[in-house]
Structure 1
Amino acid sequence: MQFNLLGKFLAEYSEFRMTPIVGNEIILKGNLNRQLHHENFGTINIFYSLLIHIPFDYPEKLPIIYESKAAIQPTPSNHINPDGSFCLGSPLRLKILLKKNPDFKFFFENCVLPYLYAVTINIQKGGGFPFGELEHGTAGLILDFKEFFRLKDSLQVYQMLKILSSKRKLANRMICPCGCKQRVTRCKYFQHILQMRRLFTRVEWNEQLQQF
């Protein structure tokens, strides 16, 4: 990991400290006491004790974040994963965000703070997250992939991920996932496949495939 990716975050959020390194990750610990504002939903105060696990191979691997004082109940409505970590969105969207800017301060302010704002509103007022919500589990992932790939069903998504995670010579002989029943290279959808290949490596797409 490039430690300079943490520099801006630690300078801006001085309440966080790095714990002694054990294993293959960096753990940041701190009490976040801030005022957050949204133009449509107003200003709120938050206070959470956070544990931030950043793998050494960040940004290739996503950070994992926990609230350590049980201030956020581990219920589906609060978007807490089974392991107690925050569900910050689909891995696909998070990885795309990190491709845009891998600096951890950017990730924290565009993923973690919006989550904390939304979950606090949900805790205080109920009614779900104010920004909209992705379905939990595989159903949510498939829905996100369908939208991102511009496909209609889960089998098409699976075929698309198989193409993107296979060697190009083999993948280019596969049937296009759009439903045209032609090889991918003979369909106009192939241009979309080429765009996806530029976005992530074959190995990274295989990681997405393994989530199914």
Structure 2
Amino acid sequence: MNGIIKIDEFLRSYPRMNAAPIYDGSMCLEGIIDFSADSEECGLISDSFQLRMVVPETFPNDLPIVYELGGRIPRDRSYHINQYDNSLCLGSRLRLLLTISKRPTLMGFTQNCLIPYLYAVSRKLSLGGCFAFGELPHGMKGEVEDYRLLFCLQTTDQVWKTIDCLGMKKRRANKHPCPCGCGRTLGRCRFNRRIRKFRSLTGRTWFQNVARELKREPPTQASLVTTAQKVMACI
């Protein structure tokens, strides 16, 4: 397990969570997360959820999978629960990777990705209505829409071509027509600088897998935009 996980820091902050390794080198964290978080839009919320977090050995290049165990969160799309395994959908995968890159530890993931989701769920359970901080369409459609925003592109086709390029070695990708449609190669376009930061988030294989998923709709999943900057965890 990568030392960047900083498990001791996490367990000090969430003492009702317990850790145990599982067979494939991943770490399983299970118990209750207590949080108190504030936002300018929705105010202060304090709540607790019983969770299981499976942290892969490859974290932070691959994201933890989180399950709610207490039965408080309805198992339906309106609460952004992945239908194929009942895990929580915290947002589009690339945005989550970008978010934790600023603090690539388990605490960074928890405070900047998980707590905003729990905050939005708690508010929805109490008041109803839409998720705080906005939502994306379900399925790959939502993922692609968020990637379009992240890349500052206009069309889905441009997103597909960008993901393809990110799955290639840089030298090869730079010889391809730029996905932005300028007519130049990627290596000669300013768009190359725009997507450079995404190469550092994870490996080429990750983008190759996403490219394959774009060509076929995966099992139904929910996508959620959580604007982590709008929520401050008070721990």
TM over 0.5: yes
Q: 1:94 corresponds to which residue?
A: 96
Q: Gapped runs of 5+ residues in structure 1? A: none
Q: 1:51 corresponds to which residue?
A: 52
Q: 1:179 corresponds to which residue?
A: 181
Q: What secondary structure sits across from 1:42 in the alignment?
A: coil
Question: C-alpha distance in 2, partners of 1:59/1:116?
Answer: 21
CA RMSD of aligned residues (A): 2.1
How far has the Cα of 1:28 moved from its partner? 0.9
Q: 1:145 corresponds to which residue?
A: 147
Paired residues of 2:62 and 2:202 also in contact (CA < 8 A): no
Paired residues of 1:92 and 1:208 also in contact (CA < 8 A): no
AA matched with 1:202:
R
Alignment map for 1:14-53 (pairs within 5 Å): 14-19=15-20, 21-53=22-54
AA matched with 1:2:
N
Higher RCO (CA 8 Å, separation ≥ 6 residues): 2
TM-score using structure 2 length: 0.81
Q: How many residues align structurally?
A: 212
Q: Identity of paired residues, percent? A: 35
Question: C-alpha distance in 1, partners of 2:142/2:130?
Answer: 16
Q: 1:162 corresponds to which residue?
A: 164
Q: Aligned pair in 2 of structure 1 residues 137, 22: CA closer, same or farther (>3 Å)?
A: same
Shifted more, 104-113 versus 16-25: the winner is: 16-25
Q: Aligned pair in 2 of structure 1 residues 53, 175: CA closer, same or farther (>3 Å)?
A: same
Paired residues of 1:5 and 1:102 also in contact (CA < 8 A): no
Question: C-alpha distance in 2, partners of 1:193/1:39?
Answer: 31
Note the alpha carbon deviations across 1:94-124, whole angstroms, 9 max, x for none.
1112222211112101111111110111112
Aligned: 1:110 with 2:86: no
Paired residues of 2:98 and 2:198 also in contact (CA < 8 A): no
How far has the Cα of 1:52 moved from its partner? 0.9
How far has the Cα of 1:47 moved from its partner? 2.7
Q: 1:65 corresponds to which residue?
A: 66
TM-score using structure 1 length: 0.89
How far has the Cα of 1:199 moved from its partner? 5.0
Q: 1:122 corresponds to which residue?
A: 124
AA matched with 2:153:
L
AA matched with 2:148:
K
Shifted more, 80-89 versus 93-102: the winner is: 93-102
Paired residues of 1:19 and 1:27 also in contact (CA < 8 A): yes
